[in-house]
Amino acid sequence: MTENNRRYDEWVNLQVTIARQLGALRNVIELYPPQPPLFKGGSFNLSKEQQTTITPPPEEGEHTITPPLSERGQGGEINRLLQEKYTQLQKHLAPESHEILETWQEKKARYAAPEYVYKVRDREVRVKTHTTSLSHNQIPKISLPRYQDWGDILRWNLQENVPGEFPYTAGVFPFKRENEDPTRMFAGEGNPERTNKRFHYVSLGMPAKRLSTAFDSVTLYGEDPGYRPDIYGKIGNSGVSVCCLDDAKKLYSGFNLCEPNVSVSMTINGPAATVTAFFLNAAIDQQCELYIQQHGLEETVKARIAEIYAAKNQKPPQYNAHELPEGNNGLGLMLLGITGEQVLPQHIYLQIKKHTLQQVRGTVQADILKEDQAQNTCIFSTEFSLRLMGDMQQYFIQHDVRNFYSVSISGYHIAEAGANPITQLAFTLANGFTYVEYYLSRGMKIDDFAPNLSFFFSNGIDPEYAVIGRVARRIWAKAMKLKYGADERSQKLKYHIQTSGRSLHAQEIGFNDIRTTLQALYAIYDNCNSLHTNAYDEAITTPTEESVRRAMAIQLIINHELGLAKNQNPLQGSFIIEELTDLVEEAVLMEFDRITERGGVLGAMETMYQRGKIQEESLYYETLKHDGKLPIIGVNTFLSSDGSPTIIPQEVIRSTADEKEQQIHTLQELHRAHAQTAQRHLQHLQQVSIANGNLFEALMEAVKYCSLGQISHALYQVGGQYRRNM
């Protein structure tokens, strides 16, 4: 990987040298025209009016830059020699470099025009290129450099370029979406109904509904809610409890998961495939519900549901709340307890399923390598987890799932565990390339899966965070294009940013918003694709509605009020940004070399190289913080008159006993309703695993009748449980 990218950089330097020499030669050639100038009455073919204004010749002894006539006569010979040199040198300029220089003025003109036109998947997009300030100035959305030197122009295009063009240093899309902020707020607490209410609160009135889901530790470890002492207290705490398909339906109810302005992110790794199957089936049943409404089948379906549950001697599941939250129209709740295929003809259901899988948007984290290195929510063996990831991606390819990403390769938790920004970026990209190699080894084609990979980074306050997106996009694009021969869509690294949780402190918690604002500025100026801003009180409790509103306001104020944010490439052209970009890129490549020396990512994991490095960097940070060498305002310096004590919250938000009991009751009713059917599907799941079939295909059916814990324990028997290398 490093050889590939460094070879490109060397090629760029060579091309820049050639272009610079060609530009210099061109300038000299213009000084020596092929024919000597013709004199008529002491003028260069000037009119009588022009001749009268010619400065008289200098007096004898005065200095003049005009060569003697005899020397001027040699202009043709000099021009010929220069032209020969120019032609010889031009042969060493690559065709793509020649095209860049030839079309540079045309490119500048396109961005200077009032409207810019480009295509996205054969759809024409028209964007106004300027915004108008209160002072009536036209502020360009994309600013281009004013370079004259051919070498500078070429280097900028080959290493920087405009957003949307290789190597995508400034961004992967030509312009940001109109009327849509990159806001994606993280939420999860209690039961699905409670988190659904928070989702509707944070997205109410927003043109785009970008939901980001936090799961409780019971769900993260693939277990079901229950009375076991190490489980009961964790149900619905620090995340939402989701144990079955009905929970997913309730969680995302009221959001049409196939609308282009709705996308869902799910932060879950060990049981990611199972939870993704919950989500996709919830989306499919939503569309079945819409079909039922459009064809006036509501009463027929209600009667069918009543008949099914009467036969089981049970009541149909319900949404556990006195009323639906504001903004929730009830979509997704009609088919609780059953699936669309139980009430619709098979061919109709399959049509709806196909359409849904092609339309649904979002991502699941599913980054098992990062879990081993940093966050620890591994449940299956690493090999089996990789297989599940591969099966899910294979299913996505077969069913044309293009808008839902099968993995969010995550640096955030690496940073939260203590890594500095260089290590976060290097480990994350290395993990990404490992997934690429694994999928290729399974016979998948690079352009079939690479567009379904996304990334997730933390933004702290360190200077390197200002360029983390620039460097990530550049390294990824070079490798995808030059090493793997991938197409443009595969070359585009898309990523989500969450401001640093580790930078939030329990002392002077009001100052946390200031830190978050600075981190959000880094992210927005660096053209992140989506952004979560942390709430100031997260150091002491789950965020309240008030603190979440403030956190959302941070990025809304930047996007809508801050004038410079109207420009979409404000970092380009800054000396320090260019210097930082080169420094960070080289540091990441050096870390790649160290990982390669240890046998690659998986080889390094066997000796716990990544964990050890993260722990060392965490200790270094904590040492500097505690001895005061790293100033943190309100924590170790600039203390208040009472010493800036740790804030003790009046109330710590946790799930209630009622919410825990509701989740356990939901699980018990599910097991009771599908006792025999669930066992058949669990056995089939194990048989598919043993026969090396596609497990995700089987999971898509199993989750209709089985709980998360049932599926996890069935897979342990064929895939093994996680055990850390010591």
Of 582, 611, 627, at which residue does a domain stop?
627
pLDDT band at 33 (very low <50, low <70, confident <90, very high): confident
Looking at the predicted structure, is the pLDDT value of residue 419 above 50? Answer: yes
Looking at the predicted structure, is the pLDDT value of residue 289 above 80? Answer: yes
Distance CA 72, CA 33 (A): 10
Among 512-516, 650-654, 716-720, where is mean pLDDT lowest? 650-654
Could you give the angle at the alpha carbon of 131 between the alpha carbons of 126 and 132, nearest 5°? 140
The whole-number average pLDDT for the span 506-518 is: 96
Looking at the predicted structure, is the pLDDT value of residue 47 above 60? Answer: no
Looking at the predicted structure, is the pLDDT value of residue 66 above 70? Answer: no
pLDDT band at 652 (very low <50, low <70, confident <90, very high): confident
Helices (H) and strands (E) in the chain, counts: 29, 13
Of 627, 653, 684, at which residue does a domain stop?
627
Please, what is the average pLDDT of the chain?
92
Among the listed residues 568, 482, 584, 492, the one whose alpha carbon sits nearest the alpha carbon of residue 525: 568
What pLDDT score was predicted for residue 76?
76
Query: Considering the domain boundaries, does residue 673 fall inside one?
Result: no
Question: Residue 269, SS3?
Answer: coil
Instruction: Using a pLDDT cut of 70, give the percent of the chain over it.
Output: 94
The pair of structure tokens assigned to 15 is: 């091309």
Distance CA 681, CA 684 (A): 5
Greater pLDDT, 27 or 159: 159
Residues 294 and 421 placed together within one structural domain of the fold: yes
Residues 247 and 318 placed together within one structural domain of the fold: yes
Query: Considering the domain boundaries, does residue 174 fall inside one?
Result: no
Q: Are 520 and 531 in contact (CB under 8 A)?
A: yes
Backbone φ, ψ for residue 140 (5° rounding):
-70, 140
Residues 270 and 192 placed together within one structural domain of the fold: yes
**Which residues, at least 6 apart from 715, have a Cβ–Cβ distance to it below 8 Å?**
380, 384, 685, 686, 689, 695
Residues 326 and 414 placed together within one structural domain of the fold: yes
Looking at the predicted structure, is the pLDDT value of residue 183 above 80? Answer: no
DSSP H stretches of helix in 452-598 = 468-478, 488-491, 512-525, 545-560, 575-597
Query: Considering the domain boundaries, does residue 592 fall inside one?
Result: yes
Tens digits of per-residue pLDDT, 578-588?
999 999 999 99
Looking at the predicted structure, is the pLDDT value of residue 558 above 90? Answer: yes
Looking at the predicted structure, is the pLDDT value of residue 42 above 70? Answer: no
Looking at the predicted structure, is the pLDDT value of residue 45 above 50? Answer: no
Q: Are 343 and 676 in contact (CB under 8 A)?
A: no
For 192-228, the DSSP string reads HHHHHHHHHHHHTT-SSEEEEEEB-HHHHTTPPP-S-
Among the listed residues 395, 181, 375, the one whose alpha carbon sits nearest the alpha carbon of residue 267: 375
The pair of structure tokens assigned to 24 is: 């210099």
> What stretch of H or E contains 434?
helix 421-441
Burial letters 229-255, b for 16+ CB under 10 A, else e:
eebeebbbbbbbbbbbbbbbbbbbbbb
The pair of structure tokens assigned to 228 is: 């076991």
Greater pLDDT, 257 or 76: 257
Instruction: Using a pLDDT cut of 90, give the percent of the chain over it.
Output: 85
Tens digits of per-residue pLDDT, 195-205?
999 999 989 98
Residues 136 and 194 placed together within one structural domain of the fold: no
Domain that holds residue 30: 2-55+66-115+125-159
Query: Considering the domain boundaries, does residue 284 fall inside one?
Result: yes
The pair of structure tokens assigned to 550 is: 């403030």
The whole-number average pLDDT for the span 431-448 is: 98
- Dihedral angle sign, alpha carbons of residues 367, 369, 371, 374: negative
DSSP H stretches of helix in 214-312 = 217-220, 229-232, 245-251, 272-294, 298-312
Q: Among all chains, which residue has been given the structure tokens 């399923």? A: 353
What pLDDT score was predicted for residue 654?
86
Distance CA 429, CA 615 (A): 19
pLDDT band at 34 (very low <50, low <70, confident <90, very high): confident
Residues 200 and 108 placed together within one structural domain of the fold: no
pLDDT band at 725 (very low <50, low <70, confident <90, very high): low
Query: Considering the domain boundaries, does residue 336 fall inside one?
Result: yes
What pLDDT score was predicted for residue 49?
45
Tens digits of per-residue pLDDT, 586-597?
999 999 999 999
Q: Are 252 and 279 in contact (CB under 8 A)?
A: yes
Q: Among all chains, which residue has been given the structure tokens 């396109």? A: 110
What pLDDT score was predicted for residue 121?
76
Q: Considering its fold, how many domains does the chain have in total?
A: 2
Residues 153 and 227 placed together within one structural domain of the fold: no
What pLDDT score was predicted for residue 244?
98
Among 7-21, 87-101, 201-215, where is mean pLDDT lowest? 201-215
Q: Are 385 and 434 in contact (CB under 8 A)?
A: no
Residues 154 and 291 placed together within one structural domain of the fold: no
The CATH number covering residue 571 comes to: 3.20.20.240
Residues 142 and 194 placed together within one structural domain of the fold: no
pLDDT band at 67 (very low <50, low <70, confident <90, very high): very low
What pLDDT score was predicted for residue 393?
98
What pLDDT score was predicted for residue 74?
59
Among 25-29, 360-364, 659-663, where is mean pLDDT lowest? 25-29
Residues 211 and 104 placed together within one structural domain of the fold: no
Looking at the predicted structure, is the pLDDT value of residue 68 above 60? Answer: no
Distance CA 286, CA 256 (A): 7
The pair of structure tokens assigned to 267 is: 């932060």
Residues 70 and 143 placed together within one structural domain of the fold: yes
Query: Considering the domain boundaries, does residue 482 fall inside one?
Result: yes
| Amino acid in the structure at residue 553 | A
pTM: 0.92
The whole-number average pLDDT for the span 206-218 is: 93
Distance CA 503, CA 625 (A): 11
Query: Considering the domain boundaries, does residue 663 fall inside one?
Result: no
What pLDDT score was predicted for residue 234?
97
Q: Are 420 and 465 in contact (CB under 8 A)?
A: no
Residues 129 and 209 placed together within one structural domain of the fold: no
Query: Considering the domain boundaries, does residue 331 fall inside one?
Result: yes
What pLDDT score was predicted for residue 545?
84
